[in-house]
Structure 1
Amino acid sequence: MSTSSSTPPIDLTDPRTGAPRGTSVRSRQPEVLAAVAAGRAALPAWSGLTPKDRGRRLDRLAGLVEEHAAEYAARERVGTGKPEAEVAGEIEQVADLFRFFATAARTRTAPAAGRLVAGHESWVRWEPVGVVGAVVPWNYPLLMAAWRCAPALAAGNTVVVKPAETTPDSLLLLAEHAGSVLGPDVLQCLTGDRETGRLLVGAAVDMVAFTGSGRAGADVAARAGTRRVSLELGGNAPAIVLPDAPEDTWSSLAEAVTYNAGQSCAAPARVITLAENYEAAVEGLAAALRSRVSGRDFGPLNNPDQAERYDRLVASSAAKRNLVAEIAPGPGEEAGHWRPARLLADLPDDDPAVTEEVFGPLLTVQRADGIEAALALAGSVPQALAASVWTTDLSAGLELAAALDAGETWLNCHLVQTAELPHGGRGASGHGTDLSTLALQEYQRPKTVTVRLSSGAGVVR
C-alpha cells in the first residue's frame, strides 16, 4: 500500500540491538478510506460463501502459515526480539487458530426456533457484522491478530487490521497470503502509527476490535460511538500463593513472568501470600528469577517507551528489597532494550509497581493477613483479566478461583491457554471474548425471522 510522499515513513528498530532496520508506511486518511472501501466491496462475496467454503479457505491460510513458518518467524523476531522457541510456538498457535475457527463456524447452534407462536414458524439467522477494524499490539503481533481475525473471518466479516507501528512485519505477510487464498481485500494490513489507528476507528467500519492499553481503549470506545466494540485492555494479574503451594510454584511463576519478557496482559504480576509463607515466597521467587537471564532465556522489551516505563516504575517503587537477575545480551546486542528479571518485596500496597501494570519481567510480593485479605488485595486494582491460585488443597483452590474477579483463572499453573477456552476481561481490562466458539458471537449479530403459516392477523402480541 502506498502513501503520500508528504507523510514521512516510520523508522523501525531492532529491539535486540536498538539499530535501525528499515521503515514502514505511515498510512493516513486516503489509505484508510481506501482500505475500508475495499473491505466493503469484498464483503458480499466473502460473507456469501457457506461456512464450509470459508472454512476451506481459512484452512489453506493456516497451511500457508505453516509452510512459510521460517519467514514468519524471522519477521516476528526482527520486530519483537523474541527467542526462536517462543516464536515457533506462537506460529503454531496461529495456524491452529485459523483451523479451529474454520471448523467452529460450522458447528454453531441457534437460539430457540420452531413453532413458538401459534400459526407461525420462527428461526434465527447469524449474520456477519460487516467490515471489522482490528487494532492489535506489539507484544504478540501475529498471534493477537489471529485471535481477532480468525473468528471475524470465519463469521463472514472482512477485516482491516492495523498492527502496532513497531511490528508491522508479520502481518504484512499474513495479508499477502490471505489475499491469495481468501480473496482480494478480505483481510488487509494497514500499517501506521497511533493516528492511523484513530483514523481507522473513525472510518466507516462496522465494528472495532482493539487490544491495547486502558487509556487507548477508552479513546477507541469514545470514537466508536454506537458501533460494536470488543476491548482487551491489559491486566495486572494476581497470583495467590498459599503455604501448601506445590514445589514448582516459584519456577512456574518465574517462567510465566519472563515469557515474552513479561509483556503479556495475562502474565502474573502481583504475588500475594499469607504471613506464614511470605519469606519462603520471597526466597523461592528470588532464586527462581535469578535463574532466568535476559538475553539467554527471554528477549528484550519491545521499544524505548516500554523500557522507560519499566525503569520509571522500578525507580518510583518504595520496595525495601529489590532483587535483580542478570542480563546477558549477545554480541552486538548491548544497546538493545534488555531488562532483568526482578522481584520487589517489602513494599506498600499502593506502591506504583503494584497499582500499575509494569508489563515487564517483574514480580511484586505482598503479604495478607488471611484468605479474605488476600482476595481483597487481588481485587484492589481496576484490571480483572487473569489470576492464579497455588495450593495442593484443590478444594480450597477451586473456592478461591471461583471467588476471584477475573475473566480467566488458573490453579497451580499460569498462562495455560488453548483455542477451545475463552479469554476476556472485566472491569478496566475491557469486555469481549477472544478464543473458543464464544468469540464468534463478537463478530456476528442475530436476526429473527418469523413466517406466518396461515391466513389471519399478521401481528400477534
Structure 2
Amino acid sequence: MTSDASGSPAVSELTDPRTGAPRGTAVLSRLPEVRAAVAGARAALPGWSALTPKERGRRLDRLAGLVEEHAAEYATREGAGTGKPETETAGEVEQVADLFRFFATAARTRTAPAAGLLVTGHESWVRWEPVGVVGVVVPWNYPLLMAAWRCAPSLAAGNTVVAKPAETTPDSLELLAEHAALALGPGVLVGLPGDRETGRLLVESAVDMVAFTGSGRAGADVAVRAGTRRVSLELGGNAPAIVLPDAPADTWESLAAAVTYNAGQSCAAPARVITLPENYEDAVAGLTAAMAARVAGRDFGPLNNPEQAERYDRLVAASDAKRNSVADIAPAPGEEAGHWRPARVLADLPDDDPAVTEEVFGPLLTVQRADGVEAALALANGVPQALAASVWTSDLTTGLELTAALNAGETWVNCHLVQTAELPHGGRGASGHGTDLSTLALQEYQRPKTVTVRLGRRG
C-alpha cells in the first residue's frame, strides 16, 4: 500500500541488529514517491550535466567536506542500521569522503578514443555524455559505502541519481541526500527509502540506467525489468583463498580478520580456503586458532537481519563437514537477543557441500584439500561466482601466475580485501558485470558520441 488510512506513507519497523529490538520506522516509498523522486532528478539533470567537470568537481568536493564535517553523525547512523563497531564505521565514513574527492578530480582527467584526421578530409573526435537519470539500489552490508561507490562516479560523469537504500538501513543515505542537496543542488542526488517493492518500482520507472548491488537472484530480476536500458550489476561472491605450503606466517590471522570484518558480510570476503595435502592440517589448525581469537560482540558485529541469520544457520546445518570449530560470542549486556553469529571453520567436507557452493555471507571459512596446484585452481574457479580471490605464497612468480589464471575481477597475493579508490572492482559470471571504483567506473555512467566533420570549403 502507498499510504495508511490517514493518507500518510506506509512505514516499516526498523530493528537494531545488536539487540533485536525495534529502533524506529522508515518510509516505504511507493509509486507516487518513486515518480516524484525520478521527476526531481530529471528536472535537475540539464543543469547538473551542463556544468563543466571542474565545477561538478568543486561541488562534489564540497559534499566530501560535509561528510567529513559530520563524520560522527554518519558513523552513528551507519552503526544503528548495521550494528557495526565504531572502528569499522569510522573507517568507512572516511572512505566515503575520499571517494567523492577522488571522483571530483577523476572526471577532469578522463581519456577518449583516438581523435583527429582518421578519414581523409574529415576531422573526428568522441564526446563522453552522461546517461541521464541513474537509479541506484544498494544493499544493507555497506549502506553508505556502497552508495558512494555507485553515486560518486555517476554524479561526476554528469548524471543525476535516485538512490534506494536497503529496507533495514535507510539512515546514512538519508543524511547523504540532505547534504547532497546543499552541496550539489536540489534533485541531483535523491534518496528513496523503501523495501524490495520500492526497488522494483524504481527499476521499472523512467530512469535511464540502473546500478544494482545485491544478490544474484535479485540482480537477474533487475536485468529483466530494466530491459534494454543499461544495467551495472555487482552480485556478490564466494571468494576462494588458495593457500600454498610456503604461505606467510600471518596467513591465518589475516584471513580470519578479513572474513570477520563486518561479520563476513562482504561480497569480496574470503570464504573458501583451498590448500594442498601437505599443508591441509596446518591450515585447519591455524585457521581454527585464528578464528577462535575473533569473538563476536568484541571484535566484530552481528549479522544484519533475521533472514541473514537464518541463512547462516541453514547452511551450517546442511553442511556435511566432519569438523566444525566454533568461536565464542560475547554480546554486551542487553544485546543477547541480537543477530550474533560466531566465527566458524568447517573442514573435512565434500567439494559440493552447500557451505562451499553457496555464499554464506557470514563469519565462516571452509577448508578444502586439493591434490595439486592445478586442482586447487580448478576448485577456486569451480563455483558460479567470480568476484574476488587471493593467493598465499612466498613464491611471487607462482602467486602472479595463479592470479592470472583465477576467474575473478579482483585478486590479491598475501592479502585480502585491500582496496582503494584508484583500483577497479567488478565481477564476472554470476557475480555480475560492471566496474566500481577507479577512473574506469566513469565509463559505466557515460555514453560515447562520435562527431565527424568534413573539412574544406565547398565551392
Q: Same fold (TM over 0.5)?
A: yes
CA distance in 2, matches of 1:321, 1:109: 53
User: Shift of residue 8 of structure 1?
Assistant: 2.9
Question: Which residue of structure 1 lines up, in the alignment, with residue 186 of structure 2?
Answer: 184
Deviation readout 1:54-108 (Å, 9 max, x if unpaired):
0000000000000000000100000000010000100000000000000000001
CA distance in 2, matches of 1:184, 1:288: 49
Report the residue type matching 1:416 in the other structure.
V
Q: State how 1:35-434 maps to structure 2 within 5 Å.
A: 35-434=37-436
CA distance in 1, matches of 2:270, 2:83: 21
User: Shift of residue 378 of structure 1?
Assistant: 0.4
CA distance in 2, matches of 1:316, 1:351: 8
CA distance in 1, matches of 2:3, 2:390: 46
User: Shift of residue 455 of structure 1?
Assistant: 4.7
Report the residue type matching 1:123 in the other structure.
W
Deviation readout 1:180-221 (Å, 9 max, x if unpaired):
110001001100000000000000100000000000000000
Deviation readout 1:116-147 (Å, 9 max, x if unpaired):
11111111100000000000000000000000
Return closer, same or farther for 1:386/1:336 CA change in 2, 3 Å cut-off.
Answer: same
Q: Secondary structure at the match of 2:111?
A: coil
CA distance in 1, matches of 2:282, 2:324: 16
Paired residues, what number?
456
Deviation readout 1:370-393 (Å, 9 max, x if unpaired):
011001100110000000000001
Q: Secondary structure at the match of 2:391?
A: strand
Q: Contact 1:3–1:31 at 8 Å: present in 2 too?
A: no
Q: Structure 1 unaligned runs (5+)?
A: none
User: Shift of residue 3 of structure 1?
Assistant: 5.7
Report the residue type matching 1:273 in the other structure.
T
Deviation readout 1:313-372 (Å, 9 max, x if unpaired):
000100000000000000100000000000000000000000000000000000000011
User: How much identity, in percent, do the aligned residues show?
Assistant: 84
CA distance in 2, matches of 1:352, 1:109: 45
CA distance in 2, matches of 1:359, 1:456: 67
CA distance in 1, matches of 2:111, 2:305: 44
Q: Secondary structure at the match of 1:153?
A: helix
Report the residue type matching 1:42 in the other structure.
A
Q: Secondary structure at the match of 1:347?
A: coil
Q: Secondary structure at the match of 1:331?
A: coil
CA distance in 1, matches of 2:73, 2:3: 25
Report the residue type matching 2:339 in the other structure.
H
Question: Which residue of structure 2 lines up, in the alignment, with residue 445 of structure 1?
Answer: 447
Q: Contact 2:3–2:10 at 8 Å: present in 1 too?
A: no
Deviation readout 1:251-294 (Å, 9 max, x if unpaired):
00000000000000000000000000000000000000000000
Q: Contact 1:141–1:163 at 8 Å: present in 2 too?
A: yes
Q: Secondary structure at the match of 1:199?
A: helix
Q: Structure 2 unaligned runs (5+)?
A: none
CA distance in 1, matches of 2:327, 2:373: 31
CA distance in 1, matches of 2:431, 2:3: 34
Q: Contact 1:3–1:25 at 8 Å: present in 2 too?
A: no
User: Shift of residue 454 of structure 1?
Assistant: 2.1
Q: Secondary structure at the match of 2:336?
A: coil
CA distance in 1, matches of 2:457, 2:10: 67
